[in-house]
């Protein structure tokens, strides 16, 4: 990973030079694409001197670095296809530069597309303002939050909000466990209250028979098992995004899984969470939703994995795949539909691994324009005997 970080600065310069040089060789001006991600370069470099050689790299760097690695692999693929684009990469965590200052710097560049791995609500507020003001599509690749989004049909959210996940979980339970008793375990908290209220609203026609149990944070296995039935399969729903709560719930159920057969519907935070696979869950069934379906065996995924292994001698994380897919898929769509990109954003012509279904979202009944576009396509991950399958 240290070698990967050291390659960043030369790679950035290479992207700029490649885009500029190709512009001179073509009759049609290249489309400009901005890529924004948290590289934290100022924390890793003193000028051009790498200063983390003897330091264990923290998660603080890894997510942005992995996404960047996927981005660069996608750019390499596009270059091999002679894509007529000019790519600019910006570090959203650059020292002494706010996200607002960055958008001012981007203003005169006439970008056709912005792809962003947003880290927080401050970045989202600045980018949606920039997008709406300039009518420039922004692909939000990773941030699943609708805060500050208003009247902006150019803002495109790939990673859905928790409400979309709750809708998908509800649909799954209604299709597979209608008539069964469902136990909804949750904890006290403002977000947990909103999740519980959303589930109740979805169930206004009482298609599901569920009871709500509020557990304390340091709940015991008995607190959970006292609400289950040892004579039938139990259907359990977790109503909190807090990972510690989910892990404790899984452990309580799995430890007594031979006595209390259980199917557990989890939250989106369970994707990749410790304690969901292997012996930690081999006596229960788990169902969670995800917009990401990186199945090994596909041509693109296997190629990305092999190229990454050759470069960095390790297996790529999902953030590498996300970086590759977001750039390759949406840039190809932009090149094919430079004028009508928004209307074609759900097309699967250049599919890497995932399907998309972007729908307009209006957060209030008075919204005239869509507040943003959100990907509503989710896959169901089933973990049975501790092993993952995806539907």
- List the one residue out of 36, 34, 13 whose CA is nearest residue 122: 36
Domain boundary, last residue among 259, 290, 321? 290
Number of domains in the chain: 2
In a domain, 99, yes or no: yes
pLDDT at 22: 47
What pLDDT digit, counting tens, does each position of 49-87 carry? 555 555 555 565 788 899 999 999 999 999 999 999 999
389 phi-psi bin (left φ>0, alpha ψ -120 to 50, beta other): beta
| Cα 89 from Cα 155, distance rounded (Å) | 19
- 277 and 339, same domain (yes or no): no
Separation CA 71–CA 145 (nearest Å)? 22
- Note the helical H segments in the chain: 2-6, 8-24, 41-44, 59-80, 99-106, 121-134, 162-176, 190-202, 221-225, 243-255, 299-312, 318-336
Task: Give mean pLDDT, residues 169-191.
Answer: 96
Q: Answer whether residue 386 is part of any domain.
A: no
Flag the least confident range among 23-32, 125-134, 267-276, 346-355: 23-32
Q: Which residue has the tokens 């709560």?
A: 245
CATH number of 132's domain: 3.40.50.2300
Question: What's the angle, vertex CA 136, arms to CA 63 and CA 165, rounded to 5?
Answer: 50
Examine the pLDDT at 200 and tell me if it is beyond 60.
yes
Predicted pLDDT of residue 41: 67
Residues 310 and 166 both lie in one domain: no
Residue 217 structural domain = 162-290
* Last residue in a domain, options 290, 315, 350: 290
Same domain, 11 and 155: yes
Name the band, by pLDDT with cuts 50, 70 and 90, for residue 107: very high
Nearest by Cα to 293 from 342, 348, 372 = 348
């Amino acid at each position: 990973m240290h070698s990967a970080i050291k390659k960043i600065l030369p790679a950035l310069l290479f992207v700029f030079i490649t885009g500029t040089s190709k512009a001179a060789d073509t009759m049609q001006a290249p489309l400009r694409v901005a890529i924004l991600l948290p590289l934290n370069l100022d924390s890793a470099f003193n000028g051009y001197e790498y200063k983390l050689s003897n330091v264990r790299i923290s998660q603080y760097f890894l997510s942005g670095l992995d996404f960047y690695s996927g981005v660069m692999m996608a750019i390499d693929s596009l270059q091999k296809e002679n894509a007529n684009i000019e790519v600019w990469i910006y570090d959203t965590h650059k020292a002494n530069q706010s996200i607002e200052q960055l958008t001012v710097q981007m203003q005169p560049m006439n970008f056709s597309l912005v792809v962003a791995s947003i880290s927080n609500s401050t970045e989202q507020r600045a980018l949606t303002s920039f997008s709406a003001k300039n009518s420039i599509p922004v692909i939000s690749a990773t941030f699943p939050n609708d805060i500050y989004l208003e009247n902006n049909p150019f803002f495109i959210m790939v990673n859905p909000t928790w409400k979309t996940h709750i809708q998908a979980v509800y649909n799954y339970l209604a299709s597979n466990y209608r008539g069964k008793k469902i136990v909804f375990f949750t904890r006290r908290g403002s977000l947990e209250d909103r999740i519980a209220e959303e589930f109740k609203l979805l169930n206004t026609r009482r298609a599901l028979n569920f009871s709500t149990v509020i557990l304390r944070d340091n709940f015991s296995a008995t607190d959970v098992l006292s609400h289950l039935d040892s004579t039938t399969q139990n259907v359990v729903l977790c109503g909190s995004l807090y990972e510690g709560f989910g892990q404790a719930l899984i452990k309580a159920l799995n430890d007594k899984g031979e006595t209390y057969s259980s199917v557990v519907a989890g939250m989106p935070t369970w994707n990749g969470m410790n304690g969901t696979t292997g012996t930690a869950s081999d006596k229960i069934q788990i169902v969670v939703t995800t917009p990401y379906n990186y199945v090994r065996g596909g041509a693109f995924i296997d190629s990305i994995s092999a190229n990454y292994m050759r470069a960095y001698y390790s297996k790529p994380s999902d953030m590498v795949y996300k970086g590759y897919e977001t750039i390759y898929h949406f840039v190809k769509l932009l090149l094919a539909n430079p004028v009508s990109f928004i209307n074609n954003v759900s097309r699967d012509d250049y599919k890497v691994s995932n399907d998309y279904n972007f729908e307009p979202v209006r957060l209030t009944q008075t919204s005239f324009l869509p507040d943003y576009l959100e990907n509503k396509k989710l896959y169901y991950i089933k973990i049975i005997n501790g092993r993952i399958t995806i539907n």
